[in-house]
Chains A and B, each alone.
Chain A
Amino acid sequence: MIRIDHLNVVFGRGRSTVHAVRDVSFAVRRGESFGLVGESGSGKSTVLRAIAGLVDDWTGTLEVAGTAQARRRSRDFRRQVQMVFQDPYGSLHPRHTVDHILKEPLYIHRLEATDDRVVESLEEVGLDASFRFRFPHQLSGGQRQRIAVARALIMEPSVLLLDEPTSALDVSIQAEVLNLLTRLRREHDLTYILVSHDLAVVSHMCERLAVMRLGEVVEDLAIEQLRRHMPTHPYTRQLFQAAHGYSRDFVAQLVDDI
């Protein structure tokens, strides 16, 4: 469904050049859920933004559904590939009602923006029609993230790009949103790319993951390998152990440069 080959992203020029993504290649099958894990500055979000077409300075090949993508994406691509951002407080227009937020992408794509369609997509994410005329500040964090998912789904996409969709939420709300995403993937045969710093979230949601560090993919492995404690790269192993909480001994053997 998605194939990336030798993706490079370079920001800035001259002395202030930042090589944010270095030679990243991976492929995601239709219906698969693929995780990108790494610490801040590892380039994981930049890869996602490059796929979405939100970053211009990239080189390499990027194929979605068998079509090579140019810098400027087609209208069809923009319908098929939708993104959900990390911060539900920043990603919804504060002065638009939920109704307006959900209809806007339909207007842009000159699709029929009926009230029924809005209500239907609200129901899809577990909210009822009474939410239509609320403003984002009248919603909780979890409800906002549901609206962000509804806005992506209303375009009937085949790919969802999820950038830390639950890291701003409490764990009980995180569980609800993750369950929602799991159900939607099954019902709509969606392909996910999920970016997260949380190894547990990725291993819950994905079948395969790539671990990124300093712009490079250090390891690409199946979740099964991770579960059986078999990550091969020392950095992955370190992340894996760190995800199991604090231990003085573990910190003592942490190495900064692997």
Chain B
Amino acid sequence: MAETPLLEVEDLHVTFRTPKGPVEAVRGVTFKLGREKLGIVGESGSGKSQTGRAILGLIDSRGEVRAKTLRFAGSDLLSADERAMRRIRGNRISMILQDPKYSLNPVMTVGHQIAEAFLVHYKASRKDARRRTLEMLEAVRIRDPERVYHAYPHELSGGMGQRVMIAMMMIPEPDIIIADEPTSALDVTVSLQVLAILDDMVTRLGTGLIFISHDLNLVASFCDRILIMYAGRVVETCPAGELDKAQHPYTRGLLNCLPKIEQGAEILPTLVRDPSWATQDETAR
């Protein structure tokens, strides 16, 4: 990663105003993303999803985003107005969400939705868009692209729906994809198949991927590098292959409390939370 990073995030904060006072969901997250697969792992409420949303400017009006740096391919995202953001969103940075059932438009055919994603960002004829869409559906290994083109989202299985989402997000060939729990709603074998498609596309196009998930083992086996988040902060960064050598007690605790197929322990070790994890600086390795 000698080249300039695709994305630079420094000291990112996301604060929400609530009736009970401000809640800091993200508290000083710093990382750089190159053309790699970066995993962000944490439990619910750790701020991992809000980090992803803040990059795309998708924090709703009750929330406030502050950062020292939030730079994408050299341009500053913090000072970008809504019009500039719209040109980046979808086209240069896109997002895959957890459940295709809720993120696809239920009253539009799948083909139309994917073609729309293409037409919004490129000057092309409808015919070209249609051709590209069918190619894309084939690329995400949908067996009968012609049929799926004319199908509505409710006619697809969860795995197919998520492949359609990937096709839609990849068609403008973005530089970064943020995938927020993209396979958590899917069965394990289907989930691995969908990940393989994502893996192939990201590798072929040299896209930077931010993979947000609660599943430590999945992220470790899929990504190149992992950030572990706790209470809005990154507590540890490590290469995915060396997760088993993780130092931070929180990471270790999470790994230990997972039941394992091979060893039968009567009682699982539980996580004893140390208040210092929420304040201490990251143990970088």
Residue positions of A touching B, CB distance < 8 A: 39-40, 170-172, 174-176, 178-179, 182-183, 197-201, 203-205, 223, 226-227, 238-240, 242-248, 250-252, 254
Contact = CB atoms under 8 A, between A and B. Distances in A.
Contacts of A183: 267
B217 interface: yes
Contacts of A238: 189
Given A172-B43, A203-B259, A245 B218 contact: yes
Interface string B256-285: 011111101111111100000000000000
Given A176-B270, A246-B195, A239 B188 contact: yes
A198 B280 CA distance: 34
B189 A178 contact: no
Nearest to A247: B221
A198 B259 CA distance: 10
Given A171-B43, A171-B214, A245-B222, A239 B253 contact: no
Contacts, number: 97
Nearest to A255: B189
Contact of B189 (A201, A239, A244): A239
Interface in B190-215: 190, 192-193, 195-196, 199, 214
B220 interface: yes
B259 A245 contact: no
B103 interface: no
Interface of B: 43-44, 158, 187-190, 192-193, 195-196, 199, 214, 216-218, 220-222, 253-254, 257-262, 264-271
22 contacts: A39-B190, A40-B158, A171-B43, A171-B258, A172-B254, A172-B271, A175-B270, A176-B270, A183-B267, A197-B187, A200-B260, A204-B268, A223-B264, A227-B261, A239-B188, A242-B188, A242-B192, A244-B217, A246-B196, A251-B192, A251-B195, A251-B196
Contact of B261 (A40, A179, A226, A250): A226
Contacts of B196: 246, 248, 251-252
Given A175-B257, A227-B262, A254-B193, 16 more contacts: A40-B158, A172-B257, A175-B259, A197-B187, A200-B261, A204-B264, A204-B268, A242-B189, A243-B188, A245-B220, A245-B221, A246-B195, A246-B196, A246-B218, A246-B222, A251-B192
B220 A170 contact: no
Contacts of A175: 257-259, 268-271
Nearest to B188: A242
Nearest to B273: A172
Nearest to B263: A227
Contacts of A247: 221
A170 B189 contact: no
A31 to B, nearest CB: 15
A199 B271 CA distance: 22
Contacts of A243: 188, 261
Given A171-B254, A179-B268, A250 B192 contact: yes
Nearest to B267: A179
Nearest to A228: B262
A178 B222 contact: no
Contacts of B158: 40
A40 B189 contact: no
Pairs of residues from A and B, 4 with the lowest C-beta to C-beta distance, nearest first? A245-B221, A204-B259, A175-B257, A39-B187
A212 to B, nearest CB: 13
Contacts of A182: 266-267
Contacts of A240: 261
Given A175-B257, A199-B261, A227-B262, A245 B217 contact: yes
Contacts of B269: 175
Contacts of B218: 245-246
A172 B270 contact: yes
B199 to A, nearest CB: 6
Contacts of A254: 189, 192-193
B189 A39 contact: yes
A237 B222 CA distance: 21
B205 to A, nearest CB: 16
A190 B271 CA distance: 26
Contacts of B261: 199-200, 203, 226-227, 240, 243
A242 B186 CA distance: 13
A162 B129 CA distance: 49
A40 B264 CA distance: 26
A130 to B, nearest CB: 20
A146 to B, nearest CB: 14
B271 to A, nearest CB: 4
Given A172-B43, A175-B271, A178-B268, A246 B192 contact: yes
Contacts of B216: 171
